Amino acid sequence: MAKGTKSTAVMIVLLVIGLLIGSIVGDILGSLGVPYIHHSQEVRWSPAGDLGILLWDIDLIVRINLASVIGLALVFYFHRRL
Instruction: Fill in the amino acid letter for 76.
Output: F
Handedness of CA 66, 75, 43, 30 (dihedral sign): negative
Which among 61, 65, 63 has a CA at the least distance from the CA of 26?
Answer: 65
Q: pLDDT truncated to tens, each residue of the chain (82 aa)?
A: 555 556 888 888 988 898 889 888 888 888 888 888 878 888 899 999 989 899 989 999 888 888 888 988 998 888 888 7
H/E segment holding residue 78: helix 66-81
**What is the per-residue pLDDT for 44?**
93
Phi, psi of 59 (to 5 degrees): -125, 110
